[in-house]
Amino acid sequence: MLLSKLLEKTEYEVLRGSVDIEITEIVNDSRKVKKGCVFPCIRGASFDGHKFAAEVASKGAAAVVVEEDVEVPEDVTVILVKDTRIAMARMACAWFDYPADKLRMIGITGTKGKTTTTYMVKSILESAGHKVGLIGTIETLIGSSRIPSANTTPESLLLQEFLAKMVKAGCDAVVMEVSSQALMLHRVEGITFDIGVFTNISADHIGPAEHASFEDYMQCKSMLFQMCRTGIFNGDDMHLGRILEGHTCSVETFGLKNTNDLYADEIELVYRPGYLGTKFCVRCEDDYEVTTDIPGKFSVYNSLCAIAVCRHFGVTKEQMKSALADVKVKGRVEMVKVSDDFILMIDYAHNAMALESILSTLREYRPSRIVCVFGCGGNRARSRRYEMGEVSGRHADFTILTSDNPRYENPEAILDDIEVGMKRTKGKYIRIADRKEAIAYAIHNGKKGDVIVLAGKGHEDYQEICGRKYPMDERVLIADILAEDAKKEK
């Protein structure tokens, strides 16, 4: 493709060379440069692509896209732009022939609920006959292909490649999680979303490598609503006014208050042996009742959000009800059947806020006991360990401290830190560093009416130790434990 074609939607200046040259590929990793490619010089937190300009030129790059002039041989075209991330995203759109324009694009942003809501939307739309691609924290789904995710929202080059594959696979719609980082780093630049969704916002992802402040975090979230035609918002969120600032889309709201365009009432928590769920009434032009296998008030919000989106696709209430009754999300309040006496579930809660949310939700069901099995990641803020220990100590009846992803730290040292938080409470606990042994202890000591939560790993199928990821899926561990128990009984 001609460089001029790649740059057709980008403002630029030619410092040297010509745009009338054939480009073989767009490459943003200096280690993967190929002859004839264009290299956007991206500035990251710990690197600057401009410093690699001469190196990529020596490897055969035909052009570089920069924010400042660089020294490269005379035969290399140098394109000056205001922001190389924006330029890369727009070039990626052109390279893959603008795949988003051929799909109905649904982008979901918010602190919590993004992942579950994307799966709900996919389930509902597919029950109505649509073919839907999904991009999110757990995986990208293209037809029967499942691609594990490195980021909630992929870098622009990979994102456009996925969208192009979805078009080729016959998808007519895409539902994707749009993270604040993706918006800040222009990964979705060049896409006009048919529907943009705001689930909620609370203080998270704030720190040196993420957002400088909560205000910055909210500002990044709000960017989606200058990139979509229709905005669907949680009308109950206290920060809605800030998220709406600068919006250019039409506005619809959902929530539990009857002032919203779509709302729910008559919420009932369903608890029976081996099952937790939620039942509620949807209030709209034609009221109807919904039951979902996902427990808690947050599942009502997620369900309402999905319904609000799918109404734009002409989905019937019968299709809505059927899909929501069956939807399941890996690692998100995922129940695993092990006994008729107690409930065992896997959840991705890996920080204090998420852990408090799931434990508080389960308390509303009034189980005999809540047993929480969790650990904390190594080489991360120690304060998170104290906080999570304190949360579990306050909200769980019994806690089993175990290993998560220790990375380069000693698992026992991590447990020492968690114990600091536990000791600030009166919570009962035990330490079992080996995660399989910890899960086995929880199962073998489960009592009638218990709810056992395996928190922290969720959808992950590995354990990271000293720079390596070893296979470890909690579903597999549970199956192995049950098989070993059955063998002992023979």
Query: Which CATH number does the domain housing residue 304 bear?
Result: 3.40.1190.10
Is there a single domain that holds both residue 284 and residue 139? yes
Confidence of residue 435 (pLDDT cuts 50, 70, 90): very high
Q: What is the pLDDT of residue 45?
A: 75
Query: What range does the domain containing 217 cover?
Result: 99-326
Domain end (from 266, 291, 326): 326
CA 296 to CA 301: how far, in whole Å?
Answer: 9
Beta bridge partners of 345: 335, 453
Q: What is the pLDDT of residues 88-125, one digit of tens each?
A: 999 999 999 999 999 999 999 998 899 999 999 999 99
Whether residue 460 has pLDDT greater than 80: yes
Residue 139, amino acid: E
Q: Specify whether the CB–CB gap between 343 and 276 falls below 8 A.
A: yes
Is there a single domain that holds both residue 290 and residue 408? no
Is there a single domain that holds both residue 218 and residue 310? yes
Query: Which CATH number does the domain housing residue 356 bear?
Result: 3.90.190.20
CA 335 to CA 298: how far, in whole Å?
Answer: 16
In total, how many domains does the chain have?
A: 3
Is there a single domain that holds both residue 86 and residue 54? yes
Whether residue 212 has pLDDT greater than 90: no
Residue 340 CB coordination number (10 Å): 9
Is there a single domain that holds both residue 105 and residue 211? yes
Q: What is the pLDDT of residues 35-60, one digit of tens each?
A: 999 999 999 877 899 999 999 999 99
Is there a single domain that holds both residue 173 and residue 273? yes
Is there a single domain that holds both residue 477 and residue 382? yes
Domain end (from 63, 95, 127): 95
Is there a single domain that holds both residue 406 and residue 457? yes
Whether residue 490 has pLDDT greater than 80: no
Domain end (from 302, 326, 350): 326
Q: Specify whether the CB–CB gap between 309 and 322 falls below 8 A.
A: no
Q: What is the pLDDT of residues 1-20, one digit of tens each?
A: 999 999 999 999 999 999 99
Is there a single domain that holds both residue 287 and residue 345? no
The helix/strand/coil state of 141 is: strand
Q: Specify whether the CB–CB gap between 447 and 371 falls below 8 A.
A: no
Q: Please list, in sequence order, all residues whose beta carbon lies within 8 angstroms of the beta carbon of residue 174, skipping any fewer than 6 positions away.
A: 100, 103, 104, 105, 106, 132, 133, 134, 135, 163, 166
Q: Please list, in sequence order, all residues whose beta carbon lies within 8 angstroms of the beta carbon of residue 143, skipping any fewer than 6 positions away.
A: 131, 169, 170, 171
Q: What is the pLDDT of residue 213?
A: 77
Confidence of residue 210 (pLDDT cuts 50, 70, 90): low
Euclidean distance between the first and the last CA atom of the chain, given in angstroms as a whole number: 67
pTM above 0.85, yes or no: yes
Q: What is the pLDDT of residues 284-338, one digit of tens each?
A: 988 999 999 999 999 999 999 999 999 999 999 999 999 999 999 999 999 999 9
| pLDDT above 70 coverage of the chain, percent | 98
CA 286 to CA 295: how far, in whole Å?
Answer: 24
Q: What is the pLDDT of residues 127-180, one digit of tens each?
A: 999 999 999 999 999 999 999 999 999 999 999 999 999 999 999 999 999 999
Is there a single domain that holds both residue 62 and residue 161? no
Whether residue 204 has pLDDT greater than 80: no
Is there a single domain that holds both residue 444 and residue 474? yes
